[in-house]
Structure 1
Amino acid sequence: MVNAATDAKSTISPLAWALLILLGLLWGGSFFFARVAVQHVPPLTLALSRFVIAAVALHVYLRGRDGFYDTLRRRAGAFLLLGLLNNAIPHSFIFIGQTHIGAGLASILNATTPVWTVLIAHGLTKDEKLTPRKFAGVVLGLLGAVLLFSPHLGAGADAPLWALALPLLAAVSYGFAAIFSKRFRGVDPTAIAAGQLTASTLIMAPVALIVDQPWSLALPPPGALAAMLALALVSTAFAYILFFRIIGLAGATNASLVTLLVPPSAILLGIVFLGERLEIIEWAGMAVIATGLVVLDGRLALLMRRRLLHN
């Protein structure tokens, strides 16, 4: 996650749009790959494998340039906390939740991240307080989350409430990470990604080894192994590089539009390849959350205001 406060670009080129759509597919694909892999690999071991492989790939990509290792040493404590909030906790929670819920539903719940970020920023910062527009976006986002939970409150629910709560708690953790990441202003974003994934590996290694004892597990089938590699290399390492490329082309605020693209990608992959289906009320929840994100973003309202003034 990247702070978008310093973004100054107001337009998006066709190339940036193409890369943004591709990134939406890659990050939507992470929920799909996780759903495939978690059927054969314990969630904590899956999270660890994602961090290890992606961290190694980014270390190879950086090759220690621009003082990366010096930055890693000087900011070791900050990287550990960022890795905990932005990777170890949320990815573990999402993967555990996905043992009972599909890729599409998990991605929609996780799409509430900007809502929690706004609420956390209001409580912890002095310069990012709630405005009427932000408050409206937060209310819509929370209402969408309530709609997603509502089909699972009855006795015949097909998924336990804790499985839905975990991706939501992951979104809260992402919100805290977004605020904390401001401490990394001026640091190469790719180095931040490599640093936090390295820290996440150190955090998750003892947890996964103690809880899952992966050496005692059966070798996953080829499909699950392929999903694990795709999750780490495609939807994590390459996706981070692509994300920062988009920031360079269109700015961080425009890059954050990927939040709206991830759930449709995850839902489409889940429907086509996993046979998942969403109920009408879950589609409604996604629509309400998406509306809340658009309100929080504010650009659509600004564009409409400008057109009214020009008319």
Structure 2
Amino acid sequence: MTWKNWLLLALLSLIWGATFPFAKVAVAEVPPMTLAFLRVAIAAGVLHAVLRMTGQGFPLSRRMLGAFLLMGLLNNAIPFSLIFWGQTAIPASLASILNATTPIFTVLVASLVFAQEVLRAHRIAGIVIGFAGVALLMAPALDFGPLAALSGAPLWAQALCLGAALSYAFAAAFARVFKGVPVMVAAAGQLTGSSLLLLPLAIWQAFAWQGEGWSPVATGPAAWISVAALGTVCTAFAYLIYFRLLSEAGATNASLVTLLIPLSASLIAALFLDEVLTLPQLGGMALLLMGLAVLDGRILALPGRLLRAVRAS
């Protein structure tokens, strides 16, 4: 990758890492499904404006509209709602670490459910190491062994974040239906689809939240700033960066952002939310990132490349 690609990758990791602290601030006052709807609706509006400015058309065929709805369900509506709901009870840093299991679930779904990929040895090793990290993260909440004394985050909230990662994995497998569709159109379409799906749930939860209902007027400026940032910067603008990185550096290099998001999210949460990672969270993150590196495969190929370079010189 060029130095510009590396800068884009770093910027994207910071933006997507900031998603979790912004969400933590917002869910303190905004119901999770309502927040998910506001995020996708704002982002959809921004991307549709970009499409119009760039002269790109938006397909309105029944087949494409159905695909947008399903992709919006799997890639936005379900995972955003689950993560935001989980973040009502767990720190932003922990949510970002659990979300990093997405590539592991993606490989499992693609290979075992849809037979789109082959489970090679290094991928199996990466999956095992990654899930060992997840087990370490969740051990305190299970009240099991010496880690129980560390009073882990609620198990249900962590399970919601893992459910979001699984939904992302199914979305990645389904995304092949958009082959040949401009990525900007696909992004705007799925965000539009998820907005339509979330609207009735967002209204219901806004009226029923905590038995008293949610009041937009009573919501503070910090929460509203977080909502705006989630929709514009962390979703719409982040998609624009990601698509440029995809076109310039390829999907494999763009996927490196997965390794960086937990680090940037934890750093931002520590600086602005005073969050501190526990020992199980640090250990779990280290194992998970190691598993992702092994799953990616390039770190294993590095010694061979260095040896060939030495021989060539």
Q: TM-score, normalised by structure 1?
A: 0.92
Partner of 1:217: 215
- Equivalent positions of 1:161-310 (< 5 A) are 161-213=155-207, 217-219=215-217, 220-310=219-309
Deviation of 1:307 (Å): 1.7
Partner of 2:127: 138
Q: Which amino acid aligns with 2:253?
A: N
Partner of 1:9: none
Rounded Cα–Cα distance in structure 1 between residues aligned with 2:242 and 2:126: 24
**Are the counterparts in 2 of residues 89 and 170 from structure 1 also a CA contact under 8 Å?**
yes
**Are the counterparts in 2 of residues 100 and 159 from structure 1 also a CA contact under 8 Å?**
yes
Q: Which amino acid aligns with 1:188?
A: P
Partner of 2:73: 84
Structure 1, unmatched stretches of 5+, are: 1-11
Rounded Cα–Cα distance in structure 2 between residues aligned with 1:72 and 1:199: 14
Cα distance change of structure 1 residues 287 and 71 upon mapping to structure 2, 3 Å threshold: farther
Q: Kindly provide the CA deviation profile for residues 199-230 of structure 1, in whole angstroms up to 9, marking residues without a partner as x.
A: 00000001111222288524210111001000
Percent identity over paired residues: 50
How many residue pairs align between the two structures?
Answer: 300
Rounded Cα–Cα distance in structure 2 between residues aligned with 1:265 and 1:159: 20
Q: Which amino acid aligns with 1:282?
A: Q
Cα distance change of structure 1 residues 277 and 65 upon mapping to structure 2, 3 Å threshold: same
Range moving further from structure 2, 149-158 or 46-55: 149-158
Q: Kindly provide the CA deviation profile for residues 148-176 of structure 1, in whole angstroms up to 9, marking residues without a partner as x.
A: 00122227735321011111110000000
Q: TM-score, normalised by structure 2?
A: 0.92
Rounded Cα–Cα distance in structure 1 between residues aligned with 2:135 and 2:214: 40
Is 1:123 the counterpart of 2:112? The answer is yes
Deviation of 1:290 (Å): 0.5
Rounded Cα–Cα distance in structure 2 between residues aligned with 1:158 and 1:178: 31
Rounded Cα–Cα distance in structure 1 between residues aligned with 2:88 and 2:161: 12
**Are the counterparts in 2 of residues 72 and 195 from structure 1 also a CA contact under 8 Å?**
no
Q: Kindly provide the CA deviation profile for residues 241-294 of structure 1, in whole angstroms up to 9, marking residues without a partner as x.
A: 000111122111101100011111110111111111111121111011111111
Deviation of 1:73 (Å): 5.1
Rounded Cα–Cα distance in structure 1 between residues aligned with 2:24 and 2:286: 23
Structure 2, unmatched stretches of 5+, are: none
Range moving further from structure 2, 214-223 or 254-263: 214-223
Rounded Cα–Cα distance in structure 2 between residues aligned with 1:72 and 1:152: 47
**Are the counterparts in 2 of residues 152 and 159 from structure 1 also a CA contact under 8 Å?**
yes
Partner of 2:138: 149
Rounded Cα–Cα distance in structure 1 between residues aligned with 2:18 and 2:99: 14
Rounded Cα–Cα distance in structure 2 between residues aligned with 1:115 and 1:57: 31
Rounded Cα–Cα distance in structure 2 between residues aligned with 1:216 and 1:115: 36
Partner of 1:4: none
Is 1:37 the counterpart of 2:26? The answer is yes
Q: Which amino acid aligns with 2:215?
A: L
**Are the counterparts in 2 of residues 43 and 95 from structure 1 also a CA contact under 8 Å?**
yes
